[in-house]
Amino acid sequence: MSSRLALYARRAPRPVHFSEMLKFGPTPHPNTLLATSRFLADEISVRLAHRHAELESLPYGLSTTREAALVREWYSISFNELTRFYDDLDRHSRDPGMAPAWTKNWWHRLGQSDDSGSKTSTADVPRGVAATSAVVEPTPSMPLTPDRYYTPNPPPLPPHMQDAVPQYTKRFTSLLHGIVERHNPVVVTVSKNVPRLLPAHMPQHHPEVQAFLNRFHANRVGVRVLIGHHLALSNPKARRFPNHIGIVCTKTDTVAVAQEAATDASEICEQNFGVAPPVHIVLANQTTISDSDIASSAALSLVYIPSHLHHILFELLKNAMRATLLKHTPSSGSPIPPVTITVTPTATNISIKIADQGCGIPRAQLANVMTYAYTTAATSVAPDGSNSATAAAVDDLFTGSELQAPMAGFGYGLPLARLYARYFKGDLSISSTQGKGTEVELTLRRDWVNDDEQVVL
Residues forming contacts to ligand ATP in the complex (CB under 6 A) are: 315, 319-320, 323, 356, 358-361, 369, 374-377, 389-390, 408-414, 438
Closest contact distance (angstroms) between CB of 95 and ligand ATP is 53
- Residue whose CB is less far from ligand ATP, 265 or 350: 265
d(Cα 45, Cα 36) in Å, to the nearest integer? Answer: 14
Nearest residue to 226 via CA among 11, 41, 88, 444? 41
Position with the least CB separation from ligand ATP:
413
Please give the residues from 131 up to 160 whose contact with Mg ion meets the rule CB under 5 A. none
What are the residues whose beta carbons fall under 8 Å from the beta carbon of 172, sequence distance 6 or more? 37, 41, 85, 234
Verify binding: residue 319, Mg ion, rule CB under 5 A: yes
What are the residues whose beta carbons fall under 8 Å from the beta carbon of 179, sequence distance 6 or more? 44, 78, 81, 82, 227
Nearest residue to 381 via CA among 406, 403, 360, 398? 406
User: Which of Mg ion, ligand ATP, none does 150 bind, CB closer than 5 to 8 A by kind?
Assistant: none
- Residue whose CB is less far from Mg ion, 13 or 358: 358
Closest contact distance (angstroms) between CB of 411 and Mg ion is 8
Nearest residue to 48 via CA among 110, 107, 2? 2
Closest contact distance (angstroms) between CB of 207 and ligand ATP is 17
Q: Which residues on adjacent β-strands are paired with residue 249?
A: 244, 304
Position with the least CB separation from Mg ion:
413
- Residue whose CB is less far from ligand ATP, 219 or 375: 375
d(Cα 299, Cα 245) in Å, to the nearest integer? Answer: 20
Contact indicator for 44, 183 with CB cutoff of 8 Å: no
User: Which of Mg ion, ligand ATP, none does 154 bind, CB closer than 5 to 8 A by kind?
Assistant: none
Residues 355, 360, 363, 367, CA torsion sign: negative
What are the residues whose beta carbons fall under 8 Å from the beta carbon of 235, sequence distance 6 or more? 173
- Residue whose CB is less far from ligand ATP, 12 or 367: 367
Verify binding: residue 312, Mg ion, rule CB under 5 A: no
- Binding part of the chain for Mg ion, among 29-37, 43-51, 301-309, 405-413 by CB under 5 A, reads 405-413
- Residue whose CB is less far from Mg ion, 347 or 378: 378
Interface residue list for Mg ion (CB under 5 A): 319, 408, 413
